[in-house]
Structure 1
Amino acid sequence: MVSVDVGVSLPENRPVAGGCSRPIRLSGHVDHVDVGTGEIRRAFTSSDQPGGVLHVRCGNRRESACPACSATYKRDARRLVLAGLAGGKGVPDTVTTHPAWFVTLTAPSFGPVHSRRQKGGKGGPVRACHPRRGLCPHGRPAGCHERHHEADSRLGSPLCPDCYGYGRSVVWNALVPKLWKVTRDATESAVAASAGLTVAGLRRSARMSFVKVAEMQARGVVHLHVVIRVDGPGGPGSAPPGWAAGELVADALRGVVGAVAVPAPDPDVDTLGAVADVGWAVRWGAQVDIRRITLDGAAASGAVANYLAKYITKSAAAGGALDHPVRSLAALARLTLPPHLRRLVETCWRLGRDVAFAAALDAALGRDSGEIPRLIRWAHQMGFGGHWLSKSRAYSTTFTALRAVRRVWSRTIGAAMAGRIPVDAFGRLEGDENTIVLGAWTYAGRGLHLGGYGADPPELPSSRAAAGLVGTWRAER
């Protein structure tokens, strides 16, 4: 059966979609098919619901876009990270004895920006932003002697916008996924060499698992926070080799981070048409932090999980102005943005419109060109088009598995509150192998009904209101 989570109430006082702010409306049905006889029975149809539609969560990870879905995503992310450190969700508890490191990879400097500096870390006295004298080549002060408040709107913006490397900033963001892949592959080779093994030999004796979270900085560039864990060849259930207990992995990673580079087209050349023949090396920034994770209890593991989970619900810009793609420069002009972020988005559009540069960037990424240039498609993320959270297969559980458990729990609780047993259309317990579940759904709009069911909120483009086939799905037996 299809169930609807509770949370937001419609005018009929019917809670829907787990409190989602802008749920997706679907029309369609679910059929149950008997494996033995081929008999088909209609298990659910949206026509029986008020307005003839089913409301489902939007699933947006950003808190500014949907607080309810963002909170659910954040909890799932925390569970995913925590399971790989402390066990659970199919990962054995013995994983706490496996060596692990917390790694922070930063972006290089593209020009001095206003920042809040504190002596001795957080809680220490605030230092002057950039205590320098003189003028930059454009006649602006080369330094800033203020001690910025943490809510200062200038934080992250350049001291001189004309000195700042906007082109390289957005191109660096676009190439972060490739730079991370090169780093991951080079680390495996470096660890194998340090252990006196070949790469094939390393894979026979150990497995390196990771979970990676991207964080958008105030200056509009991405930093990566990574947990790296060393397991035995069988994954988290097998003991790691003895050489992994020391600092061999950390030392190899430090050498790799300082050496890896990805060739990229240079956006700062005078003539973009010649960019294919002129390049620069995309590297990590000088500030790299590699720390051993001491898993001495659930509290330590939970602190790491909380630290990573909080970043993936952040918006690219304060207030959520860039939570959605920027469809045109005219749409950009209507947004209320700080000048620095606006110029970053404009730079994405300027470079993305240059055919030669867009082709050179796709070549650097090793990907085929799409219908929409990559920088334009991801202009609302300052060029970054990678995953905000990704992991290796063996690290821990998956978002899909966590959502499946939540759906089963929701159906079970709903049936219990109704005083019945959750069964399918044939009277068998849900999940019975003799029943195949088939569904077909059509997009019917977005948001809670405004001015009648089936109508999209007025701020959505009319093209979003057009119904389109979502598709069919088939449950595993």
Structure 2
Amino acid sequence: MTQLDTFPGFGEHAPLDVSPGTLTFAAQAARGRTFRTALDAFAETAAAVGFCSHPIRLNGSSMTIDTTTGVVVSEYHGADAPMGQLYRPCGNRRADVCPACSRIYARDTFAMIRSGLLGGKTVPETVAQNPLVFATLTAPSFGHVHGTRPKNGHKAGGTCRPYDRTKTCPHGRSMSCMRVHTDTDPIVGSPLCWDCYDFTTAVVWQWHAPELWRRFTIALRRALASYLGLTDSQLRDVCSVQYAKVAEYQARGLVHFHALIRLDGPDGPGSPAPVDGTTLAGLIEQAARGVRLDVPPVDGADVPRVLAFGTQLDVRTVRTGLPGTAAHSDVEDARTSDTLVPEQVAGYLAKYATKSTNVDPASPRPHLARLTRECRRLADRAATACRPDGYEPEEDEDGCVCGTCIDSPYRLLAKWAHMLGFRGHFSTKSRRYSVTLGRLRAARARYARLKAQAERDGQPLDVTDLERRLLADDEETTLVVQGSWTYAGTGWSTNGEKELAEAAAARAREYAQWKAAQNRPGQPA
């Protein structure tokens, strides 16, 4: 591959991929201004929000005050902005909602995970010597579903379910499927028999999945303490378990958890751990398979359940933490994969964190729409569990006649129906794994202020010890910002503005990929 000196997507020969009528928005929004003025105003605003698809529009003003003197250093009024309002990025993590903001979220997630792998951003680089395991915990089966199957070493191309065609379920439907599905096939993830599939338990499992993960972390620490012959309280003085986890939706609409689990010594990141990565992988698998969670029934007509993770667990050692081993382990063990590289795993997790439920409100996949309806149905059942047969509630009643249904854990399921019942965070970490996402966002805002101040002073930005200053706990400044802002709306004023912003965001992603390819080791100059 030959490197190029200039990005091929730059210049008049590479226009943005937009429809012919897109630029008419400028003429519509000009309001007495020239086309060029309106276009420049949009370009400046779109760049300021990172080409967000659904920016937040605000009206108001703010002022910067020096607390030592009480002097107003500067004032900002939304009406003076290029488009007459202050625009702020939406910050949505989902790539199908806002590609630009989800990319920033993925970059922050990558930085957060990578710093816990290799150090940096307040984490010592010696953390790269600690044992590290990559684990995937899945949901159990609630019935047979259609799916893509591997073939000849490829992830897809195989027959869906090549079993005996005469075998049927209790409802008389065939338990085989001889079709070859692709990822875009809407039938992927849907049940072979809709009557056999346990949608109710699937939603209940999804609702309690965050608690299952919490129970797993407790079980892992107890398994580690037992292996070392210690009590739970004594384990804290010997080692600590740190992790970064993301949740990803499977095609069937249920989440599974991908986690990087690191074992630190008594002095935190970088200190020697008492067991190696291979042993840690075995303890992780033991803990995951042993987790159980008793949950109450939805109502009187339902049954209590015992929830667990699925049998398909993937636990692989990334680093053994043994002296002389590199970034990934070369120990010959069933759980050890010499193809797992820490930075690649960080990239995988960052990508997973921006995936959505794939529930398209306009044309949802049938089984995902069914899960959404099941969430609302179970919420209604939980809210009216005490209602006797034939009871007709008043118009202002919510259906509960006992006053205790509000305590039901399933009452809020309808609120999370758009997430198919999953109420957890998609990207989480333990306290001492690495830097927080909030701290990274604060560092970005601090960098923007420093850059703006340097431009006002007509001086280049001082990059001396820049990362430490950006990530410092307390910013050394006497300036405070006081503002009064009101919400004016969400989104661009016209579809043309939105299309142009998304096209620019796509071109920015292409440039980032091109730049990464140029800097990739092994590429000829």
Report the TM-score range of the alignment, normalised by the length of the smaller protein. Answer: 0.7 to 0.9
The answer as to 2:268 corresponding to 1:230 is no
**In 2: Cα distance, 1:123 partner to 1:138 partner:** 31
Which amino acid counterpart does residue 347 of structure 1 have in structure 2?
E
Measure the CA separation in 2 of the matches of 1:61 and 1:176.
20
Can you list the C-alpha shifts for 1:208-229, whole angstroms capped at 9, x where unaligned? 1000100001101110001110
Match of 2:518 in 1: none
Normalised by the length of structure 1, the TM-score is 0.78
Distance 1:121 1:258, change over 3 A: farther
Partner of 1:293: 318
Residue 408 of structure 1 deviates from its aligned partner by 3.0
- Displacement of 1:147 in angstroms is 3.0
Output aligned runs, 1:302-317, within 5 Å. 302-317=343-358
Percent identity, aligned pairs only, is 40
Residue pair 2:127, 2:269 contacting (<8 A) in 1 also: yes
The Cα of 1:40 is off from its aligned counterpart by 4.8
Pairwise CA distance, 1:249: 2.5
Aligned with 2:108 (options 64, 76, 96): 76
Residue 438 of structure 1: how far off its partner (Å)? 2.7
Counting matched residue pairs gives 411
Superposed displacement of residue 151, structure 1 = 3.4
1:365-444 residue pairs with structure 2 within 5 A? 373-414=411-452, 420-421=458-459, 432-444=476-488
Structure 1 residue 56 displacement after superposition: 0.6
Tell me how large the CA RMSD over aligned residues is: 3.2
Cα deviations across residues 289-320 of structure 1 (Å, max 9, x unaligned)? 111113835992210011111111112116xx
In structure 1, what residue type is equivalent to 2:177? C
Amino acid of the structure 2 residue aligned with 1:55: Y
Q: Which moved more, 1:84-93 or 1:286-295?
A: 286-295
Matching of residue 28 in structure 1 with residue 66 in structure 2: no
Letter in 2 for 1:117: R
Q: Is the CA contact (8 Å cut-off) linking 2:246 and 2:258 kept in structure 1?
A: yes
The answer to whether 1:257 aligns with 2:288 is: yes
The Cα offsets for residues 156-210 of structure 1, whole Å up to 9 and x where unpaired, read as 1110111111111111111000101111111111111110111111111111100
Q: 2:158 aligns with which of 105, 126, 147?
A: 126
Q: Deviations over 1:101-139 (max 9, x none)?
A: 001000100000011221575358624424133222222
Are residue 447 (structure 1) and residue 477 (structure 2) matched?
no
Query: Is the alpha carbon distance of 1:122 and 1:91 closer, same or farther for their aligned partners in structure 2, counting shifts above 3 Å?
Result: farther
**1:186 corresponding residue in structure 2:** 219
- Stretch of structure 1 that moved more, 219-228 or 26-35: 26-35
Alignment deviations for residues 396-439 of structure 1 (CA, whole Å, 9 cap, x no partner): 1111221222223334445556672599xxxxxx9653333333
Distance 1:358 1:188 in 2: 38
Q: What pairs with 1:89-168 in structure 2 (closer than 5 Å)? A: 89-119=121-151, 122=154, 126-133=158-165, 134-168=167-201
Structure 1 residues 204 and 109, CA gap change in structure 2 (3 angstroms): same
Deviates more, 1:130-139 or 1:117-126: 117-126
Q: Relative to 1, partners in 2 of residues 1:52 and 1:422: Cα closer, same or farther, differing over 3 Å? A: farther
- The question of 1:279 aligning with 2:304 is answered yes
Distance in 2, Cα, partners of 1:21 & 1:358: 42
Residues 377/125 of structure 1: CA separation in 2 closer, same or farther (3 Å cut): closer
Give the C-alpha shift of residue 50 in structure 1.
4.0
**Preserved contact between residue 91 and residue 396 of structure 1 (Cα < 8 Å):** yes
- The corresponding residue for 2:379 is 352
Which whole-Å CA distance do the structure 1 matches of 2:487 and 2:83 have between them?
Answer: 14
> Quick one: distance in 1 between partners of 2:384 and 2:111?
41
Relative to structure 1, is the Cα distance of residues 93 and 357 closer, same or farther in structure 2, using a 3 angstrom cutoff?
A: farther
- Corresponding letter in the other structure for 1:208: V
Distance in 2, matches of 1:301 and 1:283, equals 29
Distance 1:112 1:443, change over 3 A: same
Structure 2 counterpart SS, 1:257:
helix
Q: Is it true that 1:57 corresponds to 2:95 in the alignment?
A: no
Distance 1:43 1:124, change over 3 A: closer
Offset of residue 381 of structure 1: 1.2
1:159 is paired with a residue whose SS is coil
Deviation at 1:29, TM superposition (A): 2.6
The answer as to whether partners of 1:132 and 1:144 remain within 8 angstroms in 2 is: no
Classify 1:233/1:121 alpha carbon distance in 2 versus 1 (closer, same or farther; 3 Å): farther
Q: Which runs of 5+ in 1 are unaligned?
A: 1-6, 323-334, 360-367, 424-429, 454-477
Partner SS, residue 409 of structure 1: helix
Q: Alpha-carbon deviations, 1:363-410, whole Å to 9, x = none?
A: xxxxx8599932101111110010000001111111122122222333
Q: List gaps (5 residues or longer) in structure 2.
A: 1-15, 17-22, 27-37, 320-324, 329-339, 387-405, 462-469, 498-525
Calculate the TM-score normalised by the size of structure 2: 0.72
Cα distance per residue 1:47-75 (max 9 Å; x no partner):
32245421011001111111111111111
2:288 match: secondary structure: helix
Separation (CA, whole Å) in 1 of partners of 2:196 and 2:84: 57
Check whether the contact 2:375–2:413 (CA below 8 A) recurs between aligned residues: yes
Give the partner amino acid of 1:280: R
The answer (yes or no) to whether the contact 1:264–1:279 under 8 Å persists in 2 is: yes
Q: Is 1:340 aligned to residue 367 of structure 2?
A: yes
User: 1:88: Cα distance to partner?
Assistant: 1.2
**Structure 2 CA distance for aligned equivalents of residues 414 and 34 of structure 1:** 17
Choose 1 or 2 for highest CA Rg.
2
What secondary structure sits across from 1:247 in the alignment?
helix
| CA distance in 2 between partners of 1:258 and 1:388 (Å) | 22
